[in-house]
A and B are shown apart, each in its own frame.
Chain A
Amino acid sequence: MDLFLELFTDYTLRTVALGTAVLGIVSGALGTYAVLRRQSLLGDAMSHAALPGVVLAFIITGSREPLVLLIGAGIAGIIGTLFMLLITRYTRIREDSALGIILSVFFGFGLILLQVVERLGLPNRAGLNVFLFGQAATLLFRDVVLMAIISLLVISIVILFWKEFKLLSFDSDFGASIGFNMVWLDILLISLLVVAIVIGLQAVGVVLMSAMIVAPAAAARQWTDSLSIMMILSAIFGAISGISGAIISSTGAGLSTGPVVVLVISTIVLFSVLFATKRGVVWSWYSRLRRQRMLILESVLNNMLKLAEQHDDPTHPHALVVLEAMNHGQGGVKNTLSELIKRGWVVQIDPTHFSLTAAGIEEAETFLLQNN
């Protein structure tokens, strides 16, 4: 409880939690498209590709203003994206290799530029660490305000181009055939993704930013088939992991915010994959089990009806061995019979003989009708 109180009273914690929440919302929302379009690793590549942009912006302007660095990072990310599109469109090299090359080469070039900064006598080692791992604790309230404004802008564009982006994600060829310029929409959407990545760099850093793009959306995907609901859920998951990550990391020394946020969102993914309704692993395992039991139930009931038809008395008792033989020796007949007894469709005459009740006959006949 004290922790939640601190959320409202402690300036640093409040700022960090707000920042990571904003980041979670915008990366969750944009990540939805990345995951649906199978471009999850684009986020990873573009966050690395941003390094030379950040450093160049710093070298050129000499300013450490977040906005300046963000613009530099954004430009580098977009150049990286265009480069990737060029490689995949005109050569046989595929997207995964193109991403790998851009990620590592841009990053390597960024490292060289960092050394130039060092040569100029400016402190940078700390700066690099912030870029790599993020340092949410250094967030100022005005940084958060800037993040929020940019996020708002990004999200308004998403809403404005809602149906175009939907078309791009699900049926790009159809979109092109009815006259939308899909290439430009593609570039616009990726640019928005780059912006979302760049505003997260200061908080969680390069390596973990990719998880913030992919994980909330992958978790949200498990709960719904609707794009709008998926996006809202994804943003909520992002925000939850941001806030709880900030709170948890404030409790222990040596727990930096970025990794904790990533572990929280990874847990949400794991939970969603296991327990999501309809799609989740546990859910589908359980429903398969139920279907299986229902099938045996029907077939045993059916067999008993068939046997009963051989006799004048429909409630004539039948031997267990006969029923088991009729079920092709698949087993589970005994359990099924006790289930049928529980439902009042079958009564046990003696240890090895069972007969249908009136309700059971009716039930078996409706099953038969449904199946024919």
Chain B
Amino acid sequence: MSASTEILLIAIVTAVACAIPGVFLVLRQMAMMSDAISHTVLLGIVLGFFAFQSLDSPWLIPAAAIMGVITVFLVEMFVNTRLVKEDAAIGIVFPALFSIAVILISRYASGVHLDSDAVLLGQLEFAFFDRSQLFGLDIAHALKVMGIILILNVILLLLFYKELKISTFDAGLAAALGFSPVLIHYGLMMMVSITAVGAFDAVGSILVVALMIAPAATGWLFTDRLDRMLIYAVVAAVLSAVGGFAMAIWFDTNMGGSMATMCGVVFIIALLTAPDRGLIAVALRRMRQRWEFSQTMLAIHLLNHEGTDAEEDECRVDHLWEHLRWQPDFAEQVIRYAEGHGVVRRQRGILNLTDEGRAIAEKAMVR
């Protein structure tokens, strides 16, 4: 495998592995927990380094993941005192743990290769040089780690899909049915932590947040169903990874940075163009509703005065705007819109309802 294929593969695997737990974070309104966890795992790595005296120890990942779960636990302990709200609790706990990590590194581990900015930013570009063995195959270490994490995430997702779904949308029901929401919650947090630790080798801890949250949020713009949201999130993750890779090659820039940027670009495109929920669809719907409402108003007005003595005055095209208290231009546009839809007809300066228009007005008034 060539270096660039392998890096692209690492990028895709990492993005997909992050997107899966990300979907549940977004749905549970816990997106910022990923930010907190991705910072505090640094403390786990430092402590793990002190315990095992090596940066290559396979135990560093569990150590860091446990620190992520401890972070969640501490935040919840704060919240349970009811003295601090959840957002503030997150904002206090993770900088404190991160500070301890930074101080420990600079005081006791400054000689080793444990830069806090390498942890924050990641170095996917150099992932190729760190080789590893798997079933006799010589592959990049990051690919092996992220591949295992991805498979783990998929297995856990399939095994606990029902439990995750029910506890995400109705924690009370889950508890009543005998699934422990607390257990599922901490299980999910463990999944997030392990994924964050594995991924920040590749993309750095701040960009892990982009990979977890942006594709999931993108998926949510397209559907109401959890299974489809997961699929769309994975598609968005792959697009972001491939796009980020291409961008990094073309502009010769930082891989993590361009992947995060592409996550944002994919999200913005979805935000604008998603059917039903995208900004353009929302704006169009609002506009159409405005026209349709005005057209109904017009039809009701005409129906009210149809066949009365005042018809000559009330239904005159040039005077309509006064009666309906519209701006003259707007009235003209509404009339044209209504004409276009076969609701009204002009006859010698007077506006008449068609049969269809009469039906619209009557239906609106009966309601």
Flag whether A273 is at the interface (Cβ < 8 A): yes
Check if A97 is an interface residue, CB within 8 A of chain B.
yes
Stretch at the interface among A88-96, A162-170, A361-369: A88-96
Interface size, chain B (Cβ < 8 Å): 61
Against B, the Cβ 8 Å flags (1 = close, 0 = not) of A207-220 are 11011011101100
The stretch among B79-87, B143-151, B288-296, B357-365 that forms the contact with chain A is B79-87
Contacts A93-B217, A109-B261, A111-B257; A101 near B210 (Cβ below 8 A): yes
Interface residues of B: mostly helix, strand, loop or mixed? helix
- Whether the pair B214, A263 counts as a contact (CB closer than 8 A) is no
Q: Is B51 an interface residue (CB 8 A)?
A: no
Given A40-B90, A101-B267, A35:B254 Cβ within 8 A: no
The reply to whether A108 and B29 form a contact with Cβ atoms under 8 Å apart is no
B84 contacts A218, CB within 8 Å? yes
Q: In the bound complex, do residue B264 and residue A109 qualify as a contact, i.e. CB atoms below 8 Å apart?
A: yes
Q: B200-213 interface mask toward A, CB cutoff 8 Å, 1 = contact, 0 = none? A: 00000011111011
Q: Mark A68-108, 1 if CB is under 8 A from B, else 0.
A: 00000000000000000011001111101111110111111
Q: Which residue of B lies closest to A96 (CB)?
A: B31
Interface centre among B29, B208, B264 (most CB of A within 10 A): B264
Report whether A91 and B221 are in contact in the complex, using a CB–CB cutoff of 8 Å. yes
Contact A254–B209 (Cβ < 8 Å): no
Q: Nearest-CB distance from B101 to chain A (Å)?
A: 8
**B209 and A100 contact, CB distance less than 8 A:** yes
Complex CA–CA separation, A314 to B75 (angstroms): 57
**What residues of chain B lie closer than 8 Å to A108, measured between beta carbons?**
206-207, 210, 256-261, 263-264
Tell me whether B99 is interfacial, beta carbon within 8 Å: yes
- Total of A-B residue pairs, C-beta within 8 Å: 204
Contact at B107–A263, with CB atoms within 8 Å? no
Hey, which chain B residues are within 8 Å of A41, CB to CB? 32, 35, 87, 90-91
Residue B95 CB within 8 A of the other chain: yes
Q: Which of B207-251 contact A (CB under 8 A)?
A: 207-210, 212-214, 216-217, 220-221, 251
A40:B85 contact, CB within 8 angstroms: yes
Q: Determine which of B106, B258, B263 lies in contact with A256 in the assembled complex, contact meaning CB atoms within 8 Å.
A: B106
Q: Which of B32, B84, B91, B106 contacts A273 (CB 8 A)?
A: B84
Whether A129 and B117, one on each chain, are in contact in the complex, defined by CB atoms closer than 8 angstroms, is yes
Closest 10 CB pairs of A and B: A108-B260, A105-B264, A111-B257, A104-B210, A211-B95, A214-B91, A259-B99, A100-B213, A266-B96, A100-B31
12 A/B residue pairs, CB under 8 Å, sorted by A: A40-B87, A44-B91, A97-B213, A104-B209, A104-B210, A105-B260, A107-B207, A107-B260, A108-B210, A114-B254, A207-B95, A222-B83
Given contacts A92-B277, A100-B32, A254-B107, 20 further A-B contacts (CB under 8 A): A38-B87, A41-B35, A93-B26, A97-B31, A101-B214, A104-B35, A104-B208, A104-B209, A105-B267, A106-B264, A108-B210, A109-B260, A112-B261, A208-B95, A214-B92, A215-B95, A218-B91, A258-B102, A259-B99, A260-B99
